[in-house]
Amino acid sequence: MSRPLSRRALLTGFLGAVTGLLATSSRAFAQMKPVASGAKPHLTVHKDPNCGCCGEWVNYMSAKGYRSTVLHVDLRPIKKQYHVTPNLESCHTTLVDGYVVEGHVPETDIVRLLKERPKDVVGLTVPGMPASAPGMDGKPFQPYTVLAFNKAGQTTVWARHTKPGA
């Protein structure tokens, strides 16, 4: 009498575990699916209403499949809130998937940021407005550098762009 019961209990436990495992992996798959199908994370862009190059950067990201919410706000409190110190500042401040992107950062650098998700990094910045960064597009091409920054305002070089589109 006790043996079939315990066998059933074992079986139930086993099936429960398998179901749990399947549920977990299908959830993980569901979370991965938007990335696999090419959905891009949403951008929240804070800018001055009169900033033309900010709009050009939004257009550049839009051409790469990103949708943006553009907010015309006082940027001083935004920079402060998101740890963008004066030496790291550019024109617009963007929030994307838990990170801050300051200024004319190339899309490829943002993709890498969201893939690697470095723990100590608040975000990326291209300080100032380098002549040939995306949305500025000055020719002939002038090299520029993308920095990663943390809450303490420390920076590391994230990428050096030395030729157009790279």
Peptide bond into 140 cis (omega under 30): yes
x-or-dash string of contact with Cu ion, 83-112, rule CB under 5 A: --------x---------------------
- Is 79 within 8 Å of 122 (Cβ atoms)? no
- Minimal distance, residue 126 CB to Cu ion, in Å: 9
- Is 139 within 8 Å of 104 (Cβ atoms)? no
Give phi and psi for 109, each to the nearest 5: -70, -35
- Minimal distance, residue 53 CB to Cu ion, in Å: 3
Pick 27 or 72: Cβ nearer Cu ion: 72
Binding to Cu ion, residues 110-129 (CB under 5 A): 129
∠ CA 106-140-88 to the nearest 5 degrees?
Answer: 40
Strand 155-161 with 144-149, pairing? antiparallel
Q: Identify the residue among 43, 45, 53, 148 touching Cu ion (CB under 5 A).
A: 53
- Minimal distance, residue 43 CB to Cu ion, in Å: 15
Pick 41 or 137: Cβ nearer Cu ion: 137
- Minimal distance, residue 33 CB to Cu ion, in Å: 34
161 three-class SS: strand
x-or-dash string of contact with Cu ion, 129-148, rule CB under 5 A: x-------------------
The C-alpha atoms of residue 166 and residue 163 are separated, in whole angstroms, by 6
- Is 148 within 8 Å of 156 (Cβ atoms)? yes
- Minimal distance, residue 140 CB to Cu ion, in Å: 19
Pick 56 or 83: Cβ nearer Cu ion: 56
Pick 113 or 129: Cβ nearer Cu ion: 129
Peptide bond into 4 cis (omega under 30): no
Residues near Cu ion (CB under 5 A): 53, 91, 129
